[in-house]
A and B are shown apart, each in its own frame.
Chain A
Amino acid sequence: MTAMSSAGHSRERHALLLMLSVLAVLAILHIQQGARPIPATVMLDAVLSPDRDAFDHFVILSLRLPRASACIVGGAAFGAAGFLLQVAMRNRLAEPHVLGLNAGASLAVVLVTTYQPVVLPDILMPFAASLGAAGLFGLVLALSALGSGRFDPVRMVFFGIALSALASALVSAILILNEDTLEQLRFWLVGDAAGGGAAAVWSILPAVALGLVAGCLLMPQLATFSLGESISVALGASVHRTRIAALVVTALLCGSAVSLVGPIGFVGLMAPALWPRLHQRPSLGAFLLVAGSGAAILLAADILALGLLAPTELPTGALTGLAGAPVFIWLVARRLT
Chain B
Amino acid sequence: MSRFLMPPPARNARRLALRLGPFSTRLAVRGLAANLLLASYLLLVVWLGLSLGSRPIPLATILAWLRLEQVNDTDSIILGSLRAPRLCLSMLSGAMLALSGALTQHVTRNGLADPGLIGVRSAAALLIVALILAWPQAPLALRPVVGLAGGLLAGLVVGLLARGASPLKFVMIGFGISWCLSSALVILLASADIRSLQRAMMWLAGSLEGADWPAVRLALVVFVPTAIACLGLARQAELLDLGAATASALGINQTRLHVACLAIAVLLVATSVSVAGGLGFVGLVAPHMARFLPRQGLAGRLICATLIGALLVMVADLAGNVAFAPIRLPVGISLAAIGAPVLILLLWLRRNRI
Contacts and interface: CB of A to CB of B under 8 A. Distances in A.
B336 A332 contact: no
A173 interface: yes
B191 interface: yes
Contact of A333 (B162, B344, B354): B162
Contacts of B327: 176-177
Contacts of B341: 166
A28 interface: no
Interface string B150-190: 00000000000110111011011101110110111011001
Contact of B112 (A158, A163, A168, A335): A158
A215 to B, nearest CB: 26
Interface in A155-214: 155, 157-159, 161-163, 165-166, 168-170, 172-173, 176-177, 190
A321 B348 contact: no
B348 A154 contact: no
A157 B172 contact: yes
B168 A158 contact: yes
A318 B190 contact: yes
Contact of B340 (A169, A176, A326, A333): A169
Size range of the chain A interface in the assembly? 35 or more
A135 to B, nearest CB: 15
A158 B171 contact: yes
B318 to A, nearest CB: 15
Contacts of A313: 190
Candidate in A170, A315, A321, A324 with the most chain B CB atoms within 10 angstroms: A321
A163 to B, nearest CB: 7
User: What DSSP secondary structure best describes chain B's contact surface?
Assistant: helix
Contacts of A143: 344, 347-348
Contact of A161 (B175, B177, B354): B175
B351 A148 contact: yes
A148 B348 CA distance: 11
Contact of A322 (B168, B175, B180, B337): B180
A48 interface: no
Given A143-B347, A143-B348, A148-B351, A336 B169 contact: yes
A169 B337 contact: yes
Contacts of A266: 179
Contacts of A309: 191
A17 interface: no
Contacts of A131: none
Interface residues of B, number: 43
Contacts of A318: 183-184, 186-187, 190
B187 A322 contact: yes
A321 B182 contact: yes
A328 B190 CA distance: 24
B292 interface: no
Interface in B300-354: 324, 327, 329-330, 332-334, 336-337, 340-341, 343-344, 347-348, 351-352, 354
Contacts of A159: 344, 347
Contact of B180 (A166, A315, A321): A321
A314 interface: yes
Nearest to B338: A169
Contact of A166 (B176, B177, B336, B347): B336
Contacts of A165: 280-281, 336, 340
Contacts of B190: 312-315, 318
Interface in B258-293: 280-281
A101 interface: no
Given A143-B344, A148-B351, A336-B169, A321 B179 contact: yes
Interface of A: 93, 143, 146-148, 154-155, 157-159, 161-163, 165-166, 168-170, 172-173, 176-177, 190, 265-266, 309, 312-315, 317-322, 324-326, 328-329, 332-333, 335-336
Give 10 closest A-B pairs by Cβ, nearest first: A147-B351, A321-B183, A169-B336, A166-B340, A325-B180, A329-B176, A318-B186, A325-B179, A322-B183, A154-B168
6 contacts: A166-B336, A169-B332, A173-B334, A309-B191, A315-B186, A328-B172
